[in-house]
A and B are shown apart, each in its own frame.
Chain A
């Protein structure tokens, strides 16, 4: 069985500060890992994904994440937060692209 935990249901950062959203997973097979963003009253938009290969993955809007197998983690970072980054962020794990399991989400607030 797969599962995802996201530490911190709500994270606040100042504009221009580092964004760090944490994700830990459990999976019995090599995982595919994803980060999605959801703006109010909208569906989910893919930020980035890890399937195989390079463990540091770059996504849209300046976000990146690093797959660390030994720590079963896939934390999302962005060097400098922008007001437009305020949204809900979901980490998800799947087995070879099927059976997606989402974490509970982290709401990111960006303070001026």
Chain B
């Protein structure tokens, strides 16, 4: 059984640029959630995708967008990067069968200069 994987592990961008982060869900999971974890804080929910449709969104602006593919992998896109977007971005997968547990990937650390 393959766990949740994320790429890249680290990324440096400059303000105003765009970035795409990728996530492969755990085998058998059809739901992917994305979180932003700023330094010294808990993860904040960005959005969730279930069977290629957005299935809930946290308090993040529209420049944070996502996709889920037929194989349930997912992308997080962030446009017009701001300095405050510097954080660890975590992807978690789960299965929509009730009593779901979210299994997390190792994260992508984004630094915006």
Contacts and interface: CB of A to CB of B under 8 A. Distances in A.
A99 B41 contact: no
Contacts of A52: 99
Given A34-B101, A36-B104, A100-B33, A44 B43 contact: yes
Nearest to B91: A43
Contact of A98 (B41, B44, B56, B106): B56
Main secondary structure of the interface of A (DSSP, over half): strand
A8 B72 CA distance: 38
Contacts of A100: 33, 35, 43, 45, 92, 102
Interface residues of A, number: 24
A64 B8 CA distance: 34
Give chain B's interface residue range (CB within 8 Å of chain A): 20 to 34
A78 interface: no
A98 B48 contact: yes
B19 to A, nearest CB: 19
B67 to A, nearest CB: 19
Interface in B90-109: 90, 92, 94, 96, 98-107, 109
Interface string A47-77: 0010110000000000000000000000000
A101 B107 CA distance: 18
Interface of B: 4, 33, 35, 40-45, 48, 55-56, 90, 92, 94, 96, 98-107, 109
